Structure 1
């Protein structure tokens, strides 16, 4: 069986949930972590090894800075490859953003103009990363909070070209689409209907919050998934068929049982649409 075909709905793995995660036997369950937290020996890596013995894993990176004007850090890539080889994740993904400048790391996933130059640079960066990792990456669509000038491509055109030129797949974050559609004034359904189904290897779902000083929605991952995002998710599944789906929660962490209920909702929707069309 293809490794991805056995994956249903998964959860982001939190330290406070390790014991419950190991013991959970929900069919199709998998767990995602940020690999940066597990790239050195210690208790976290020991726990991850234990989880990997019972459940499929996804490594979702936050620091390759693929949209930067320089190649990803080679030492970081070699450490990431060592972790990949060690735990053998079913999924490996990164963000379409930049977070490094002149050797300094920034704690944000920052936007960029989708120019011809940016496309060529990011294609080179993805090729470089995939060659060292010896694995294809899935690239996530970003959240947007302000208009930028200098775009030569729509976001979907840009993501499609990245996938075509590099062999990467795409991680469709539906909460990012909802947040960006609200903030930038576009139609979320139209965006999702145009998203290239053949390149989607994974879906993310999360909750958002509203900025205290404006009408902006923030991709905060600190609330339950909204009714709007659930509706968009079902719409996508009915168009493209099931894909491995992650429930993200990174702040205001509830009990494992509460997260599992959200996960079970996603699994029910996955089951309702049957096989890939």
Structure 2
């Protein structure tokens, strides 16, 4: 099984509107990440652009449609299309979400939460084993941004993720913004969550922006919106995390209200400064 091996630098999510500027010269970017489902067609401009990028940069493929957390069987056609994408581009990393997004033949345009129970644990382990066996490569599993908790959950999320790693050999994608969003929404301490997180399995980190609103009771509610720069509390948590882990491949996610290329690039460069600082501390 091919292991995840992204370079320990800062990357960004590739947006086609940035292609011309990216392609105009070498960029200070460690890797690009794309959503697998955007490249499941046979050809056309998306593949032409991604093929050009792949010649010069490391690549992370991020899935959003496998519905790993579903209690129903994985969609074999979707898995087959995913394998075609991974075989075509040989990415350094492939990742998916600790969530579900389909029921029967209906695809729900969201990443939905699930209860953390022995039953769901066994099902997710089964699905990850199937994915890794079919692709012949390690999968990274991303922690979710959540807006509710299930009364039937009997396993803390960090312990749930650790047990998945133990049973499958998968890696983890640690989304620091998701940690901050979920912790704020549930009145929990994000530092306590991160202290319990199985960081030894982390192969990639995500950073993104979030938006603020209020719930029906007037309480603060954060939304994982991916439409702003990374917020200061998330940068702080990220710096503290890298002080523990050392350098880790880190992606800037900005999927809505996408800014001009120099703005997105500057966010990655800000992450790179923290990565470089962590590397110096580790070498000292």
What range is the shorter-chain TM-score in?
over 0.9
1:131-154 Cα deviation digits (max 9, x unpaired): 111111000000111122111210
| SS of residue paired to 2:227 | coil
| SS of residue paired to 1:114 | coil
Check conservation: 1:4, 1:244, Cα contact below 8 A. no
From 200, 220, 224, give the equivalent of 2:225.
Answer: 220
Equivalent pairs counted in the alignment come to 276
Map 1:1-277 → 2, pairs under 5 A: 4=5, 6-27=7-28, 29-40=30-41, 41-211=43-213, 214=218, 215-274=220-279
243-252 or 214-223, larger mean C-alpha shift: 214-223
Q: State the alpha-carbon separation in 1 of the partners of residues 162 and 19 from structure 2.
A: 37
Check conservation: 1:39, 1:45, Cα contact below 8 A. no
Q: State the alpha-carbon separation in 2 of the partners of residues 181 and 204 from structure 1.
A: 16
Deviation of 1:22 after TM superposition, in Å, equals 2.7
Cα separation, partners in 2 of 1:186 and 1:212, compared to 1, 3 Å: closer
Q: State the alpha-carbon separation in 2 of the partners of residues 269 and 26 from structure 1.
A: 18
Cα separation, partners in 2 of 1:69 and 1:55, compared to 1, 3 Å: same
- List gaps (5 residues or longer) in structure 2: none
Deviation of 1:129 after TM superposition, in Å, equals 1.1
Check conservation: 1:141, 1:171, Cα contact below 8 A. yes
Question: Over aligned residue pairs, what C-alpha RMSD do you find?
Answer: 1.6
Q: State the alpha-carbon separation in 2 of the partners of residues 74 and 244 from structure 1.
A: 30
1:209-256 Cα deviation digits (max 9, x unpaired): 012655210000001100000000000000111110000001111110
Q: State the alpha-carbon separation in 2 of the partners of residues 203 and 61 from structure 1.
A: 15
66-75 or 117-126, larger mean C-alpha shift: 66-75
- List gaps (5 residues or longer) in structure 1: none
Which of 1 and 2 has higher RCO (CA within 8 Å, sep 6+)?
Answer: 2
Deviation of 1:177 after TM superposition, in Å, equals 0.4
204-213 or 81-90, larger mean C-alpha shift: 204-213
Q: State the alpha-carbon separation in 2 of the partners of residues 6 and 121 from structure 1.
A: 31
Check conservation: 1:7, 1:30, Cα contact below 8 A. no
